[in-house]
Amino acid sequence: MTSVAAAELPWGDVWGQHEAVSTLQRAAHDEGSPAHAWLITGPPGSGRSTLAQAFAAALIANAPDDHATMRQVLAGTHPDLMALRTEGVIITIKQARALVERSYFGPSLGRYRVIVMEDADRMTERTSNVLLKALEEPPEQTIWLLCAPSEADLLPTIRSRVRTLRLREPEVDDVARLIVERTGADVDVAEQAARHSQRHIGMAQRLATDTASRQRRDESLRAVLGGRTIGDVVEVAGRIVQAATDDAKALTAERDEAERASLLRTVGVPEGSRVPPAVRAQIQALEEDQKRRATRSLRDGLDRVLTDMQSVYRDVVMLQHDRQEGIINLEVIDDLRRVAGEWSQERTLRVLDHITDTRAAIEQNAQPALALESLLVTVVSGNRL
């Protein structure tokens, strides 16, 4: 499987979504007006945001061959594009109101003003209600593009006012081939990364190119499978949280420093100089944003660990039903078979339910170590707390 029109703008970076691209191409070039609001759904890594950006470029461009405008949109610098890529825990009411206010401005250069809201599932009910009015009374020549894992992640009142486009999930072999093409990774490593990421393209690429990430995943899952006592699970939970914390810091530290340096240059403060009082409020605001991003990064890392754990016990359920095809964690197949033989199906399903609840609890600001300890006690004891 190859990229859709890899050499053509604006769809060249969209991969494996031929039907969705065809639908959006028709909508962008239809003589009538396209739907005023779209919801693009698909699992993490399926390319929701990439597709939304490509659609925005096609909508804003004044003609199918207006490549200069398309490149500007794809670069995120066109004045008729507004994109919200929240790095916080939630999309705030303030952010939603800013988008709604701008949505009532007409396009300045392009055919449409396009507003892209990534991670629309991070809106609370109050924030969703702020957006609802703009969707009920859509301004002319403004198009909303919302992205979320599924329709169920948004309020019914929002879903009823958008046109939904569901993306397909790629196959493991397709993702592996793409990773080899993009990174030159070893074929076997790419296949393993595609399996372990559960076909999440971005995560597969990271696993295929980062030995430390592959090792952390392997160590975490083996520790969970090897836990036997309450003492074991407390230690394992602590190690998992620490690994996720270290990973989050590694991902954000370099960017944080670059942002601080850029801000100081912008306001004319030489490197190494004392920060004047007039600038301290800006520095403090930047640091608050960076803290929110770090929190989001940590929660995303813990959610990735829990997703990996789900894959383990999903494999166990499959083995308990005598199904061998589609096992994700082939590298620990002996441990999986042991658990499948020792546990009842009811116990495995109970653990899977608790993993789902733990993911939700951490998303709602539960203390990560305690949430993981509670989960792992369920794993080793078979009894839910």
* pLDDT score recorded for residue 202: 84
* pLDDT score recorded for residue 6: 37
Percent of the chain with pLDDT over 90: 45
Residue 3 in this model has a pLDDT that exceeds 60: no
DSSP string, 312-343: HHHHHHHHHTT--TT-S-GGGHHHHHHHHHHS
Host H or E run for residue 73? helix 67-74
More reliable by pLDDT, 353 or 260: 353
Q: What are 53's two structure tokens?
A: 């950006």
Look at residue 165 and give its three-state secondary structure: strand
User: Looking at the domain 18-166, which fold is it?
Assistant: Rossmann fold (3.40.50)
Of residues 216, 227, 283, 277, the one with CA closest to residue 251: 216
Rounded (10°) CA dihedral 258, 300, 366, 353: 180
Q: What is the pTM of this model?
A: 0.71
Interhelix angle for 211-226 vs 230-266, to 10°? 150
Q: How many CB atoms lie within 10 A of CB 255?
A: 12
Give mean pLDDT, residues 299-322: 92
More reliable by pLDDT, 272 or 154: 154
pLDDT in tens, 89-105: 688 899 999 999 989 99
Residue 7 in this model has a pLDDT that exceeds 50: no
Host H or E run for residue 252? helix 230-266
Percent of the chain with pLDDT over 70: 96
Confidence of residue 190 (pLDDT cuts 50, 70, 90): very high
* pLDDT score recorded for residue 383: 56
Residue 69 in this model has a pLDDT that exceeds 50: yes
- Residue 1: HSE in the Cβ half-sphere, 13 Å Cα cutoff: 17
Domain ranges of the chain: 18-166, 230-381
CA distances from 175 to 7, 45, 76, 219 (A): 20, 10, 27, 24
Confidence of residue 207 (pLDDT cuts 50, 70, 90): very high
* pLDDT score recorded for residue 1: 40
Rounded-to-integer distance, Cα 113 and Cα 13, Å: 22
Query: Which residues fall within 8 angstroms of residue 251, CB to CB, at 6 or more apart?
Result: 297
Look at residue 105 and give its three-state secondary structure: coil
